Amino acid sequence: MQADIIVIGAGVAGLSAAYTLAEHAHVIVLEREAFAGYHSSGRSAALLVPSLGSEVVQTITAAGAASLHEPPIGFDRPVLNHRGALWVANKHQTQDLKNLMSSTVGMAPCSPDQAVARVPILRRDWLHSAAYEDEVYDIDVHVLIEGFRRGIQARGGRFLAGHTVQAANRQSGLWRIETPQAIVSAPIVVNAAGAWADPVGQLFGAQHIGFTPMRRTAATVEAPDGLEIEDWPFIINPAEDFYVKPDAGRLLISPADETHTPPCDAQPEELDIAIGIHEAQQALDIEVRHVQASWAGLRTFAPDREFVIGFDTLAEGYFWLAGQGGVGVQTCFGAAAYASGLILNGPSSGISAIDALRDRITPARFAPAETRIES
Ligand SMILES: Cc1cc2nc3c(=O)[nH]c(=O)nc-3n(C[C@H](O)[C@H](O)[C@H](O)COP(=O)(O)OP(=O)(O)OC[C@H]3O[C@@H](n4cnc5c(N)ncnc54)[C@H](O)[C@@H]3O)c2cc1C
């Protein structure tokens, strides 16, 4: 099989890039698992919080926001559902909340009474100050993944599940990539392998970035008796000790943990679930009779915690799309547009706001100067 571009990984990063590229090129997506979104992308808290992260993250989020709000034709349902976010602080965290408010557009102060009116189980003896951010949305990740997957096929691309990339070599300007079932070749390969980005990069002789996968845990518990929770906002404190949000009639609780973990099928640890529930119970009157479901996923960070998007400095025709950390879902349209712009039209992607931050995104920032080829 031959294509113009091979994308490795069918999480939101690989699928969104393949979908965007497939409008202009013949694309094949190779995914190890039996279905798309099995790892981090299917395990997220599924939120769009435009104020989150560095300037790079906010700019990439903004570049793709219109497509999340109004998905392209072929996405069969809306992707976003309004949620809002309530930032809550105890007396030790009030200064942190003030600092956050002063640096965040769209976050308005909210009195403790107003906060309790929104979320009646907030503990008044804990709550000292609060702020409300309106432009926060739930993301329907299933609609997103299915929309990308169908769109790739409608644009003539191929999605090959159950294809683990095991080996690669470059001959006559083509990458020849081996999976147990097939040999696939293309002049350009995009590494969107999430937590496996570095080991996959090794197969291509690409530079070592030093990604760190970090486990994050979530659990759902029953909603408090007699309360209608569906319209409650996402609840988080500035220290990010925990967060809580309504999730299909239950409450989703996360300890917002970050545990360094080798790339794997991440599983939740009971201790992390217990810590999340304990932290949430400091701020909220939640009685947990039992945990209904729990899961964990990996958020993968480059050493400086910024995205890594761009051609490699060692391996020809090899492109990185990795290091999305805790914001890979909300940034997918923006990151895909930037990546596609560089691949198809480089050296500028055509998205000037992101191009202006290129030095903070390019893989070249991790390459020793003496080993570089032109990126
Ligand atoms: C608990 C939790 C909450 C989160 N909340 C949010 C949130 O609210 N909002 C947000 O925007 N983000 C959130 N995130 C982060 C988000 O989930 C990730 O940034 C995003 O899913 C990363 O997407 P990806 O496509 O890079 O990785 P993945 O979804 O992990 O996809 C990588 C794919 O590559 C495949 N692969 C790896 N190696 C190979 C190989 N050799 N051959 C073939 N295929 C291979 C894997 O099987 C996998 O399917 C959260 C994450 C977690 C864990």
* Domain range list for the chain: 5-74+140-211+304-371, 85-134+213-300
The pLDDT of residue 85 is above 70: yes
Exposure of 187 by Cβ count < 10 A (0-12 exposed, 13-18 middle, 19+ buried)? middle
**Probe residue for ligand 1, chosen from 6, 40, 141 as the CB with the greatest number of ligand atoms within 8 Å:** 40
Is 126's pLDDT higher than 60? yes
Ligand 1 centroid distance, CA of 361 (Å): 18
**pLDDT at residue number 76:** 82
Q: Atom 18 in ligand 1: which residue has the minimum CA distance?
A: 328
d(CA 216, CA 232): 23
In the predicted model, what is the mean pLDDT of residues 311-340?
A: 98
Amino acid at 349: S
Q: What is the CATH number of domain 5-74+140-211+304-371?
A: 3.50.50.60
| Mean pLDDT, residues 157-178 taken together | 97
Query: Which residues, other chains included, contact 17 with Cβ-Cβ below 8 Å and sequence gap of 6+?
Result: 7, 190, 192, 321, 335, 336, 339, 340
**What integer is the mean pLDDT of 341-346?**
94
Ligand 1 pocket list (CB less than 6 A): 8-14, 30-33, 38-41, 43-47, 164-165, 192-196, 200, 216, 218, 297, 299, 324-330
- Determine the residue of 16, 38, 44, 320 to mutate for testing ligand 1's pocket, defined as the one with the most ligand atoms within 8 A of the Cβ atom: 44
Tokens 């197969």 appear where? 203
Higher local confidence (pLDDT), 256 or 370: 256
pLDDT for the residue numbered 195 = 98
**Residue 375 pLDDT:** 45
Answer whether residue 193 shows pLDDT above 70.
yes
177 alpha carbon – ligand 1 mean position (Å): 22
The residue whose C-alpha atom lies closest to atom 52 belonging to ligand 1 is 44
When comparing pLDDT for 223 and 371, which is higher? 223
pLDDT in tens, 69-81: 999 998 989 999 9
Whether 373 has a pLDDT exceeding 60, the answer reads no
Residue minimizing CA distance to atom 51 of ligand 1: 44
- What pLDDT is recorded for position 370? 63
> What average pLDDT score do residues 182-208 get?
98
Bridge partners of 206, per DSSP, are none
Per-residue pLDDT tens digits for 254-310: 999 999 999 999 999 999 999 999 999 999 999 998 999 999 999 999 999 999 999
Q: For the residues 224-247, what does the mean pLDDT come to? A: 94
DSSP string, 66-125: HHHHSPPTT--S-SEEE--EEEEE-TTTHHHHHHHHHH-TTEEEE-HHHHHHH-TTB-TT
Atom of ligand 1 nearest to the CA of 9: 34
pLDDT of 372 > 90? The answer is no
- Domain 85-134+213-300 CATH (choose: 3.40.630.30, 2.30.110.10, 3.20.20.140, 3.30.9.10): 3.30.9.10
Q: Report the C-alpha dihedral over residues 75, 76, 79, 81, rounded to 10 degrees.
A: 160
- Check pLDDT > 90 for residue 349: yes
Nearest CA to ligand 1 atom 50: 44
The average pLDDT across 53-65 equals 96
Residue to probe by mutation, ligand 1, list 242, 299, 300, 331, most atoms within 8 Å of CB: 299
- Alpha-helical regions (H) of the chain: 12-21, 55-69, 94-103, 112-118, 141-154, 197-203, 270-283, 332-345, 352-355
Lowest mean pLDDT among 139-148, 305-314, 365-374: 365-374
Averaged confidence pLDDT in the chain: 95
Contact 309, 338 (CB under 8 A): yes
pLDDT in tens, 140-164: 999 999 999 999 999 999 999 999 9
Comparing 36-50, 114-128, 176-190, 359-373, the range with the smallest average pLDDT is: 359-373
- Nearest residue to 27 via CA among 204, 148, 169, 194: 148
Using only C-alpha atoms, the chain has a radius of gyration, in whole angstroms, of 21
Same fold for the pair 5-74+140-211+304-371 and 85-134+213-300: no
- Cβ–Cβ < 8 Å for 257, 272: yes
